[in-house]
Amino acid sequence: MLLYADLINYEQIVPWAIFGLFAAAAFWALEHFSGKNKRAAERLDEMRDPLIRRKREEGRGKKDAIAKMLERTTSLAAPLKPKTELETSKLRLRLAIAGFRTEGAVSVFLGLKFIGLIAGFFLAGGSMAAIYGMSQKTLTTTVLTAGFMMYLPDIVVWFISRSRKQQIFLTLPDTLDLLVVCVEAGLGLDQAMRKVSEEMKKVAPVICGEFQLSNMQLQMGRSRSEVLHELGQRTGVDDLRALAAILIQADKFGSSVAQALRVQSDSMRTRRRQLAEEKAAKTAVKLIFPLVIFIFPGIFVVLVGPAAITMMREMFPAMNGTR
C-alpha cells in the first residue's frame, strides 16, 4: 500500500514537472528570439515615462544578482574548472562563438553545469528511490540523469553556436555585396562596416552585431589588423576568417579593398551554390533507407501478394476448402 501511494504521488508530480520544463523552455525561447527595441526608442520611452527607467534598472539589477549567484556557485564547482590557462581560453572562445562574451561568462557556464549536476542527482535519485527503492537501477538512472543535466549547458551552447555560424554563412555574401557598394561609393572600410551594420540589422542581426563590435574596438584605438583577426576568430566561421585575412593583407600591401571584397563575395556565393548541389546529390542516397524500410515492403505485398496466394492455392488444394 505504501509503494502504491508513492506511485500515485509520483504520477501526480510528473505532469507538473513536465509542464514546468516546457514552460521554462518556451520562456527561454521567447526571451532569446524576441527582438529588442533600439536604444533610441528605449530612451524616448524613459523620457516619456520615468517609471520605465526605474523598472528597467530593477530588472537589470535582478539579472546581475542572478549572474552573481551563478558565479558564486563556481566556488563549489572547483573540479569542473579548467586546469590550465589554455583550456580556459578554449572555453572562453567556445562561449564567445555562441555569443556569450561577458567577463563572467565562464563562471556562469560552470555554475549552470554544477546546478544541473545537483538538480539531476536529487530529482532523478529522489523520484527513482520513491518508485523502485534503493537498487542498482535507481543508482544507474540517477548517475545517467545527473551526467546528462551536467552536459546540458554544453549541448545548448553547441546548438546556439551552430545556429549563429549558419546565419553568418548564409548572410555573409549579401553583406559583402553591400560592403562593396559602400566602399566603391567612397567610404572607408570602417564607415562602410558601420553603414552595413545599420542597414542590414534586421536582415542579418548576427553579422551586423559583429561589425558593430569591431567598429567599437576600432574607435577605442585598437589596430585594424587586430580587430579583423579577432573578428574572424570569435565567430568561428571559416569564410569570415578568410575574409579577415584578405582584408588584413589588402590593408598591409595597399591593394584595392573593393576588389578583394568582390572576389571574396563571388567565391563565397560559389561555395554556397556548391554546397546546395552537394546536398541535392546526397538526396538520392539518403532516400534509399526510407524507401527500403517503409515503402518497399508495401509495394512488395501489393505486387507479389496475389501471385503468392495463387501459388499457395495451386500447390496446396486443401487451402481452398476442398478435401
Domains observed in the chain: 2-158 (no CATH), 166-285 (1.20.81), 287-320 (no CATH)
Give the three cell numbers for residue 224: 585594424
Give the cell for residue 36: 529588442
Q: How far apart are CA 114 and CA 81, in angstroms?
A: 10
Q: CA of 201: how far to CAs of 36, 138, 204, 212, 323, in Å?
A: 12, 51, 6, 10, 84
pLDDT value for 211: 86
Q: What are 163's three cell numbers?
A: 545556429
Residues 58 and 240: their CA atoms lie apart, in Å, by: 38
- Residues 51, 57, 58, 60: is their CA dihedral positive or negative? positive
The residues near 152 (Cβ < 8 Å, ≥ 6 apart) are 116
Tell me if the pTM is above 0.75: no
C-alpha to C-alpha distances, 285 to 82, 129, 278, 288, 313, nearest whole angstrom: 43, 47, 12, 6, 40
Three state DSSP letters for 29-61: HHHHHCCCCCHHHHHHHHHHCHHHHHHHHHHHH
- Res 137: pLDDT: 75
**Closest Cα partner for 193 from 151, 133, 240?**
240
- Measured distance CA(42)–CA(56) in Å, rounded: 10
Q: Which of 101, 141, 102 is nearest to 122 (CA)?
A: 141
What DSSP state is assigned to residue 84? S
Ranges of residues in the chain with a pLDDT under 70 are: 1-80, 318-323
How many other CB atoms are found less than 10 A from the CB of residue 302? Answer: 9
**pLDDT value of position 8:** 46
Query: Which pLDDT score is estimated for 15?
Result: 58
Neighbouring CB atoms inside 10 A of 225's CB total 15
Exposed, middle or buried by CB within 10 Å (0-12, 13-18, 19+), for 20? exposed
Q: What pLDDT is recorded for position 53?
A: 56
CB 71 within 8 A of CB 204: no
Compute the Cα dihedral for 64, 69, 75, 76 and give only its sign. Answer: negative
How many Å apart are CA 178 and CA 172, to the nearest integer?
A: 10
* pLDDT in the model for residue 78: 64
Cell matching residue 10: 509520483
At residue 73, the pLDDT reads 55
